[in-house]
C-alpha cells in the first residue's frame, strides 16, 4: 500500500512533536507500506518569516517572499529525516525542485500543474521514507513559488493523486472537521464524514482546517481524504464524494477575516461601467466576492464589493488611478469587517435558513452590512469585532439542524 501523510506546522513544532510524528510515520512503514510524508514549516515559522520580511521592507516582491517562506518547509523535512535516521530508519528529504513539482508562474499563489513521480518512486523502491516539502513549487523560470497560505494540504493531495496513493491522511491539531472552528465555538461537533462540495465551501469561506485548493483537487481526482489529529488515535473525518448519512440542513459555519469592503461612489449609471470596474480588478488577479449595487440616482450609482484584505492596497491604488476613466466620484473602504457563512447542501430547498441565520444575528444584536447567497451557502459581512460572537450565535441557532 502507498500512503501519503501530511503533518501541519503545530504537529512538528518542536523536538518532542517531531519524534511523535516520526513514530506515526513508522507505524505504517513497519507494516511494509510505502510512505510519502508532506510537512509544513514548524510552528509559527512562516509567520515569523513574514514578520522578518516586513522588518526589511514594507513592500517586498512576491518572488523574494516565496524564496524566503519556502525555507520553513525545507527545515522541517531535513529535521524529520534526521529524526528517522536517528531511530534507525532510512529516510530522504526532497524539496519541490528535487521532486519536480511544477506550478503556474504567479508567485505567492501558484497552482500545481505537474508532478514527476520518477524520483519519489525510485526512493520508495529503495525502501526510503520520502519526506517532501509542502507549500512550494517551481515555475517555468525555475523560480520557487508558493501555493498560498495553508498550501501544504494541496501538496499532499496532489502527490496522492500523482502517485496513485491508496490513502491520504491530513494530520493536524484538531481531531477532524467540526461544525465550526472548535477553538471558537465550544459546542462544535465533529463530523464523521463530509462531502467534497460542502468541505470546499467551508474551506473557501474560512475554515482553514483544509486548504480550499486541496479539496478541489481531491474532488477532481477522487482522492478520499482523512483529517485527523497527530496527537491522538481518534478516527477523524472522511472527506469524500457521497456521504452515507442523510443530508442535514446545514453542515457548518465558518468565518473569514481576510476581507475588506470597497465602495465606489457616484459611478456613472450607464451600461458597461460594472464590466470596466471588475475587469480592471480581474486583470490584476484580485478576487471580488460579495457585490452590491445601489439604486441609481441622478445618473449615478454606488457599487460596493469585498476583496481579500491582503489585496486591499493594490485594489485601492488601481481604482484611484482609474477613477476618471470609470467616471466615479470617490472611493470608500473598510478593512475592519469579516465574513461569516453557513454552509449546507440541504439548504437549497429550504427557505427558512436565511431567516434563521438573520434571527440569530438579531438576537445577538449584530448588524449585517452585506449579504450574499448561493445554492449551498449564505454569507454575511459584519464588523470584525463581532466575528466570534456571530459564529457562536449562528451555531446555537442551528444547533438542532446539524
Pick out the residues of the known binding site: 6-9, 46, 73, 172-173, 178, 183, 208-209
**Binding pattern for the stretch 121-150 against ligand ADP, x by CB under 6 A and - elsewhere:** -----------------------------x
Task: Tell me the three state secondary structure of residue 341.
Answer: strand
**Interacting positions 69-108 with Mg ion (CB under 5 A):** none
Shortest reach from residue 136's CB to ligand ASP, in Å: 9
Shortest reach from residue 110's CB to ligand ASP, in Å: 13
Binding residues for ATP: 6-9, 172-173, 178, 183, 208-209
Q: Where are the alpha helices (DSSP H) in 195-237?
A: 196-204, 212-221
Number of H helices and E strands in the chain, helices first, is: 13, 20
Shortest reach from residue 153's CB to ligand ASP, in Å: 6
Q: Does 388 bind ligand ADP (CB under 6 A)?
A: no
Going by the DSSP 8-state scheme, the letter that residue 241 receives in this structure is S
Q: Which of 12, 39, 41, 328 forms a contact with ligand ASP (CB under 6 A)?
A: 41
Shortest reach from residue 11's CB to ligand ADP, in Å: 6
Would you say 237 or 306 has its CB closer to ligand ADP?
237
Q: How many CB atoms lie within 10 A of CB 314?
A: 15
Of the candidates 247, 40, 37, which has an alpha carbon nearest to the alpha carbon of residue 135? 40
CA 300 to chain CA centroid, nearest Å: 38
Select from Mg ion, ligand ASP, ligand ADP, none the partner in contact with residue 266, using the beta carbon and a kind-dependent cut-off of 5 to 8 Å.
Answer: none
**Interacting positions 176-235 with ligand ADP (CB under 6 A):** 177-178, 180-183, 207-209
Contacts of 78 (CB under 8 A, 6+ apart): 93
Of the candidates 67, 5, 11, 6, which has an alpha carbon nearest to the alpha carbon of residue 33? 5
- For ligand ADP, the nearest residue by Cβ is 8
Q: Which of 43, 150, 176, 397 forms a contact with Mg ion (CB under 5 A)?
A: 150
Shortest reach from residue 215's CB to Mg ion, in Å: 12
**Interacting positions 1-20 with ligand ASP (CB under 6 A):** 8-9
Half-sphere exposure at residue 280, Cβ-oriented, CA atoms within 13 angstroms:
18
| Cα–Cα dist 110/102, whole Å | 9
Q: Does 42 bind ligand ASP (CB under 6 A)?
A: no
Task: Tell me the three state secondary structure of residue 361.
Answer: helix
Shortest reach from residue 172's CB to ligand ASP, in Å: 10
Of the candidates 124, 112, 105, 122, which has an alpha carbon nearest to the alpha carbon of residue 156? 112
| Cα–Cα dist 166/160, whole Å | 8
Select from Mg ion, ligand ADP, ligand ASP, none the partner in contact with residue 135, using the beta carbon and a kind-dependent cut-off of 5 to 8 Å.
Answer: ligand ASP
- H or E segment to which residue 27 belongs: helix 15-29
Would you say 127 or 183 has its CB closer to ligand ADP?
183
**Binding pattern for the stretch 90-129 against ligand ASP, x by CB under 6 A and - elsewhere:** ----------------------------------------
Would you say 21 or 281 has its CB closer to ligand ADP?
21
Of the candidates 396, 7, 387, 22, which has an alpha carbon nearest to the alpha carbon of residue 205? 387
CA 28 to chain CA centroid, nearest Å: 28
Of the candidates 91, 87, 140, which has an alpha carbon nearest to the alpha carbon of residue 111? 140
What grid cell was written down for 226? 482523512
Q: Does 341 bind ligand ADP (CB under 6 A)?
A: no
Q: What are residue 225's DSSP bridge partners?
A: 168, 239
Interface positions with ligand ASP (CB under 6 A): 8-9, 40-41, 46, 72, 134-135, 149-152
Binding site for ligand ADP (CB under 6 A): 8-11, 40, 150, 172-174, 177-178, 180-183, 207-209, 252
The footprint of Mg ion (CB under 5 A) covers 8, 150
Amino acid at each position: 500500500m502507498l500512503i501519503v501523510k501530511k503533518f501541519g506546522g503545530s504537529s512538528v513544532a518542536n523536538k518532542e512533536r517531531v519524534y511523535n510524528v516520526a513514530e506515526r510515520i513508522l507505524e505504517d512503514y513497519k507494516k511494509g507500506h510505502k510512505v510519502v510524508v508532506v510537512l509544513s514549516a514548524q510552528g509559527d515559522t512562516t509567520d515569523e518569516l513574514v514578520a522578518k520580511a516586513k522588518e526589511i521592507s514594507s513592500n517586498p516582491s512576491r518572488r523574494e517572499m516565496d524564496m524566503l517562506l519556502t525555507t520553513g518547509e525545507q527545515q522541517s523535512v531535513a529535521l524529520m529525516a534526521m529524526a528517522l535516521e536517528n531511530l534507525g530508519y532510512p529516510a530522504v528529504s526532497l524539496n519541490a525542485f528535487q521532486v519536480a513539482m511544477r506550478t503556474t508562474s504567479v508567485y505567492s499563489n501558484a497552482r500545481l500543474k505537474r508532478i514527476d513521480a520518477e524520483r519519489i518512486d525510485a526512493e520508495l523502491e529503495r525502501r526510503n521514507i520520502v519526506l517532501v516539502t509542502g507549500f512550494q513549487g517551481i515555475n517555468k523560470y525555475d523560480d520557487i513559488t508558493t501555493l498560498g497560505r495553508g498550501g501544504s494540504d494541496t501538496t499532499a493531495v496532489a502527490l496522492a493523486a500523482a502517485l496513485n496513493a491508496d490513502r491520504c491522511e491530513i494530520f493536524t491539531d484538531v481531531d477532524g472537521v467540526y461544525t465550526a472552528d472548535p477553538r471558537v465555538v465550544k459546542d462544535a461537533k465533529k463530523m464523521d464524514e463530509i462531502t467534497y462540495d460542502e468541505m470546499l465551501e467551508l474551506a473557501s469561506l474560512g475554515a482553514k482546517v483544509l486548504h480550499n485548493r486541496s479539496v478541489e483537487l481531491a474532488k477532481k481526482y477522487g482522492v478520499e481524504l482523512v483529517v485527523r489529529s497527530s496527537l491522538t488515535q481518534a478516527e477523524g473525518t472522511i472527506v469524500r464524494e457521497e456521504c452515507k448519512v442523510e443530508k442535514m440542513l446545514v453542515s457548518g459555519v465558518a468565518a473569514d477575516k481576510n476581507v475588506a469592503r470597497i465602495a465606489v461612489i457616484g459611478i456613472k449609471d450607464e451600461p458597461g461601467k460594472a464590466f470596466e470596474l471588475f475587469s480592471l480588478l480581474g486583470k490584476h488577479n484580485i478576487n471580488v466576492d460579495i457585490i452590491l449595487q445601489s439604486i441609481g440616482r441622478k445618473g449615478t450609482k454606488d457599487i460596493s464589493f469585498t476583496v481579500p484584505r491582503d489585496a486591499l492596497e493594490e485594489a485601492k491604488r488601481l481604482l484611484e488611478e482609474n477613477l476618471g476613466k470609470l467616471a466615479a466620484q470617490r472611493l470608500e473602504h473598510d478593512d475592519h469587517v469579516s465574513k461569516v457563512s453557513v454552509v449546507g447542501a440541504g439548504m437549497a430547498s429550504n427557505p427558512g435558513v436565511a431567516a434563521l441565520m438573520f434571527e440569530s444575528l438579531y438576537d445577538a444584536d449584530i448588524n449585517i452590512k452585506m449579504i450574499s447567497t448561493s445554492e449551498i451557502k449564505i454569507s454575511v459581512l459584519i464588523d470584525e469585532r463581532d466575528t466570534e460572537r456571530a459564529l457562536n450565535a449562528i451555531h446555537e441557532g442551528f444547533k438542532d439542524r446539524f
